[in-house]
Structure 1
């Protein structure tokens, strides 16, 4: 799955390019958040920062809870196929 940029070169998408509209749990405002596909059944690792109240978050949400379906769901599943490491990243902290 690739598109072309203005110069005609291929543009490759990666899992971190997937973004969703997400409602802040602190102030209930809507904003754009990163959503990384995570496992089956499809879940999303949602990360973000609310520009209104300053809350930051990291949560694992079922795609159906976020209203992800249709083409967005297909795209997320595609990311899992091309980047299977995104499914179970190394969560080891290194200093």
Structure 2
């Protein structure tokens, strides 16, 4: 692989991860709900509502879901980069 290919693929990966996380963010903690982050799998949950008994931690991170999200976005970024390379050749 060329160095430009991997740099651009990493840039696309980071951009996709940030944009998809922000676009699919469900902010509900201000109104007694939960904040949900992640696409297509919700890997981060902030418990913002009133809960009895009070939980030890108000946030939940699911590492397997985070890894699946990163894997899916990584595959998508490589596919996008390959499409860009193919279009440049023609």
State the TM-score, normalizing by the size of structure 2.
Answer: 0.29
- Decide which structure has greater strand share: 1
Computing the radius of gyration from Cα coordinates, the structure with the larger value is: 2
- Decide which structure has greater helix share: 2
